[in-house]
Structure formats: C-alpha cells, structure tokens
A and B are shown apart, each in its own frame.
Chain A
C-alpha cells in the first residue's frame, strides 16, 4: 500500500514564500504530482517530479528526494489567488496515483 502525508493547513502572508511538504511511503515509485484545487473547482496540474532535484515553473517549484521519500512545493511571491488546497499525489508500482489529504493554504493580505 501507499501512505502520503502532508500538513492539513498552512497560512502565509501575501508576497511571502511558503513551502508545503509531502512525505510518502510506496512500494515502487513512478513519480510525484502536485495539483492545485480552488474551493468548488477541479484540481489542476502544477508539477511532476520523477528524478531527484528541483523543477521550477515561474513562481512555483517542486522538489523531490527519492531516498527520503520527500517532496515539497515552493510558492514564491504569494498572491491572494494562491489560497487553495494543494494536493500531493504519488505513483507507486501500480502506476495509479494515490493522493494525500491535501494542504489548505490561506494567504493573508
């Protein structure tokens, strides 16, 4: 089976940087996804990591350490519209992604 763990809720200030962590335990590993989900909307794809290291996409970056079973999503220059849930999803040996419970990020002015 798989176990994905991420914090339930985080708060941050507009303009700041926030790091959302995700730890996973899987039998086999075939990649890790991050999704963003605004309230009442569909999750949308943010990033994918399968090799160790940092992937940067504008204000958002995602990091992976396979040996530690650890990933994080880094959001820079936070904006109010970044208030959302962030979902970590891991592909294990079955190639079917398993989702964590999501981290609700609240950005204050």
Chain B
C-alpha cells in the first residue's frame, strides 16, 4: 500500500512566522502535490512537482513556496504566515506519466495561524 505521511496533523503558528509542512511518500512516485482544502471551496492546488528539483505553480501559489530535494519528500513553505492561510493542507503523490494513475493522499495538516 502507498503511504503518504505528513509530518503534523495539527499545527498552530503565529502571523509572520516561516512555516514548513513536510510530506514523505514511500512508493517512488514521480509526482507530488500540495493542496489546501477549505469549506465550500474544495481542494485547490498550490504547487506540484513531477521530478526532483522540479516545481510548477498550481492555482493558488501566492504566499507559498515548495522544495523537492529528494524524490520521496515534498515540502511546502509559508514564507510569512498570514491568518488567511489557516486551512487544511493535503499532500498527494502519484505515478508519473499520462495514464489513469490516481493520487494518494496524506491525512492532512490542519494549520491555524494566529
């Protein structure tokens, strides 16, 4: 079974702090994704990566950056946290290519910015 592990289930930070959310997958997947999930808005893509050191902006990248130094690890960085970044953050991975491979999600990190 694919395992996607997010480092924290719950996190509380203060406005202006630099925040790191970590995600690790154990199935050698090429693709990794970061989403945020808000009530009424669904899953919105922040960034994704299709290979080590490669990253692409999603639909809402402002205020975020990412790092993928190793294939199994994809980090989301909030450069200077703001209250509107309070949300549930979900990491996902999938096999690369153009086929029918589904995404496998971590359990999420519920982040509160005070």
Contact = CB atoms under 8 A, between A and B. Distances in A.
A41 B4 CA distance: 13
Interface string B94-111: 000010101111111000
A14 B46 CA distance: 37
B43 interface: yes
Given A41-B107, A42-B105, A42-B106, A31 B45 contact: no
B100 A31 contact: yes
A96 B42 contact: no
Interface string A62-96: 00000000000000000000000001010000011
Residue among B42, B98, B107, B108 facing the most chain A CB atoms (10 A cut-off): B42
A13 interface: no
Contacts, number: 44
B74 interface: no
B90 A101 contact: no
Residue among A35, A45, A48, A100 facing the most chain B CB atoms (10 A cut-off): A45
Contacts of B48: 96
A3 interface: no
A95 B44 CA distance: 15
Interface residues of B, number: 20
Contact of A101 (B4, B42, B100, B108): B42
A96 B45 contact: yes
Interface in B40-76: 40-45, 48, 58
Contact of A95 (B98, B104, B106): B98
A95 to B, nearest CB: 5
B55 to A, nearest CB: 13
B72 to A, nearest CB: 18
A19 interface: no
Nearest first, the 5 A-B pairs at minimum CB distance are A101-B42, A45-B102, A42-B105, A99-B43, A48-B100
Given A42-B90, A87-B43, 16 more contacts: A30-B98, A31-B100, A33-B102, A41-B107, A42-B4, A42-B105, A42-B107, A42-B108, A43-B103, A43-B105, A45-B104, A89-B103, A95-B98, A101-B41, A101-B42, A102-B43
